[in-house]
Amino acid sequence: MNIQASLWRSIAVFRLASLVYAAVLVAVDRADYAHLALAWVVLAGMTAWTAVTTAAYAVPARRTRVLLAADLLATAAALGSTALLQYPGSVTAAAMPVTATWVAGPVLAWAVAGGIRAGTVAALVLGACDLTLRHQSLDSVYRSRVLNGTVLLLLAGVVVGYVSTLASRAEQAVQRATEIEAASRERERLARGIHDSVLQVLALVQRRGAEVGGEAAEIGRLAGEQEAALRTLIAASAAGGLAAGEQDLRTLLTAQTSASVSVVTPADPVLLAGETAREVAAAVHAALDNVRQHAGQTARAWVLVEDEGPTVTVTIRDDGAGIAPGRLARAAADGRLGVSQAIQGRMRDLGGSAAITSEPGAGTQVQLTLPHPVAR
Amino acid sequence: MLYGSAVGEPRVRVMVVDDHPMWRDAVVRDLTEAGFEVAAAVGEGAQAIRVAAAVRPDVVVLDLHLPDMSGVKVTTGVLAAWPTARVLILSASGEQRDVLDAVKAGAAGYIVKSASRTEFLDAVRGTAAGEAVFSPGLAALVLGEYRRLAASPAPDTPRLTDREAEILRMVGTGLSYKQIADRLVLSHRTVQNHVQNTLNKLHLHNRVELVRYAIEHGMDAQDSYDTGDG
């Protein structure tokens, strides 16, 4: 829906209705007019101008500064002609000028075209014309009813200008949203395409490579890593609709998947504050680094993410060599605090905790627990 | 070649559903070489449901990503067409929501496409033998689903026992049933039963929900998935 177009249509309707009102006023207040026939000529001119502006403003390309200026001048001229048409006594006694409310037409047009500022300018120009017409001195103006007309024009200019600005902003926002939606649909289409072809082939290469062994196994491993990376990329670009500053922990952790690391998560997003999520991901990264360095070449690792309502738990387990009893405590006593300390420190800073359990030959398990700050 | 099956014993009949021709061929070859009877291999969901009724497979190896139908609909349709079939999902790791929905709709297990051939064949054998084939990924999904149900205000939602939750966590961190049995000093069978139970409760709950939905919306249960001439 085009809000601007309907504003312009409303202005055309307003002008037409005002024109009829002005004609009725001339007929009723004919006693005020020294040259009644001329007044009807001016009204005929106003009718013609109403027709011209209605046709011209209907087309966006014709809403030029020239037309707007001409509109203001024509209206001011019609307003000024009142001085010739009515008896001088009627004019200063604040009888309705020949233009009546029709005078507001260009104020509305300026406001819609140029916002509050343009609306105000047009209102002040026409208000000044009106006041000049009445020969009001500045000190008597404050107590005069004549000022009402100017104030109302000003009000119309400001309010309509404001509405027009809001409307065009809203239209831009809708436009942007439509573009974003189109872009995300395109991304989804690409993701589906990649899923149907590239990911399937990479997964197959990984599987066959592992069976054939030797150099093929290495190729398979690389294909597997690329598959995981590409899948993460697609998932990250498809994820939208997060509140500002929130982050789905699943997205960050799934990115650490590799041939030897599998990351498993619930189906629903695990939402944390962005900084918290990144800290947890860094702690998981440190734990996985530790696995790579100490658990042995062939060790595999699993990362289990659980969202338990009041807490979020991430468990990292490997099937590597494990740590001898007391070695962690000894390391701490020797001042070689290393990775476990880094992980525990990180989690403590977040208000959580980290528990490390290990047995020689049975791998190591690191459990990170974090209070859930996001209300469910 | 009939490895893995004694002479005279009927072979396990498997149907393969995957829209990617390379994958379909690879899976069929692996199954055939391992001594399974591949009863059919199809690439579309509607076709899978029709063919399942005709060939009556013991196990359906199902990729959830099909061009014409969602994985849930295929699972439901296959099980309605041939209720003794056991559906094993073989799918990519990024389709968690689909996997969970298919498992709730009655699938018996889930294995990722990146699993090795041996793991895959073991999974098919396990499924045929009536076991719940749980990858770590499925354990995480099921734990999450129970968590979600526990948070819902609805009455009579299924809950995990402490033991079931403990075992699912172990499966989720990559431990095999045998390793879990050793750690908890339980029999392999008991561990399997606990895992199977977690799925049975979800299946049952899902059926109850479907019936409740059907009643609330004033139609009989058949209409809820057969929207034809009912």
pLDDT digits over A108-131, tens only? 999 999 999 999 999 999 988 888
Token code pair at residue A135:
């020969």
**Which distant-in-sequence residues (6+ apart) come within 8 Å of A90 by Cβ?**
A32, A33
Asked whether the beta carbons of residue B169 and residue A319 sit closer than 8 angstroms, the reply is no
Give the CA dihedral A169, A175, A179, A185, nearest 10 degrees. Answer: 120
CB B82 within 8 A of CB B52: yes
Partner residues linked to A301 by β-bridges:
A261, A318
pLDDT at B134: 86
Q: Does A236 reach chain B within 8 Å, measured CB to CB?
A: no
CB B121 within 8 A of CB B140: no
Q: When comparing pLDDT for A333 and B208, which is higher?
A: B208
Determine the residue type at A251.
T
Q: Do the interacting molecules here have an ipTM over 0.85?
A: no
pLDDT at B223: 47
pLDDT at A144: 65
pLDDT digits (tens, 9 = 90+) for B117-133: 888 999 999 999 988 88
Nearest beta carbon to residue A304 from set B92, B116, B136 = B136
Give chain A's mean pLDDT: 84
pLDDT digits (tens, 9 = 90+) for B5-55: 445 557 899 999 998 888 899 999 999 999 999 999 999 999 999 999 999
Cα–Cα separations (whole angstroms), residue B36 to A202, B30, B129: 26, 9, 13
Asked whether the beta carbons of residue A304 and residue B141 sit closer than 8 angstroms, the reply is no
Q: Closest Cα of chain B to A302: distance in Å?
A: 5
Determine the residue type at A45.
G
Alpha-helical runs (H) found in A195-214: 200-212
End-to-end CA distance of chain A: 37
CA pair distance B36, A203, nearest whole angstrom = 23
Question: For chain A, what is the total number of helices (H) and then of strands (E)?
Answer: 14, 7
Q: At A94, is the pLDDT very low, low, confident or very high (cuts 50, 70, 90)?
A: low
pLDDT at A188: 76
Q: Does B43 reach chain A within 8 Å, measured CB to CB?
A: no
Q: Which residues in chain B are closer than 8 Å to A368, comparing Cβ atoms? A: none
The beta strands (E) that lie in B3-130 are given as 13-17, 37-42, 59-62, 86-91, 109-112
pLDDT at A333: 61
Asked whether the beta carbons of residue B22 and residue A305 sit closer than 8 angstroms, the reply is no
Of the candidate ranges A132-141, A188-197, B132-141, the one whose mean pLDDT is the lowest: A132-141
Q: When comparing pLDDT for B164 and A297, which is higher?
A: B164
Q: Is the pLDDT of residue A367 over 70?
A: yes
Q: In a 3-state reduction of DSSP, which class is residue A83?
A: helix
Asked whether the beta carbons of residue B65 and residue A201 sit closer than 8 angstroms, the reply is no
User: Which of A125-134, A231-240, B91-100 has the highest average model confidence (pLDDT)?
Assistant: A125-134
Asked whether the beta carbons of residue B65 and residue A306 sit closer than 8 angstroms, the reply is no
Q: In a 3-state reduction of DSSP, which class is residue A93?
A: coil
Cα–Cα separations (whole angstroms), residue A309 to A248, A272, A373, A376, B188: 15, 12, 10, 7, 31
Cα–Cα separations (whole angstroms), residue B143 to A266, A313, A372, A376, B170: 7, 12, 17, 17, 11
Token code pair at residue A193:
């395409």
Average pLDDT over residues A130-157: 76
Among B80, B65, B191, B184, smallest CA distance to B134 is for B191
pLDDT digits (tens, 9 = 90+) for B150-203: 887 777 788 899 999 999 999 999 999 999 999 999 999 999 999 999 988 988
pLDDT at A171: 87
Q: In a 3-state reduction of DSSP, which class is residue B135?
A: coil
Share above pLDDT 70 across residues of chain A, in percent, rounded to a whole number: 87
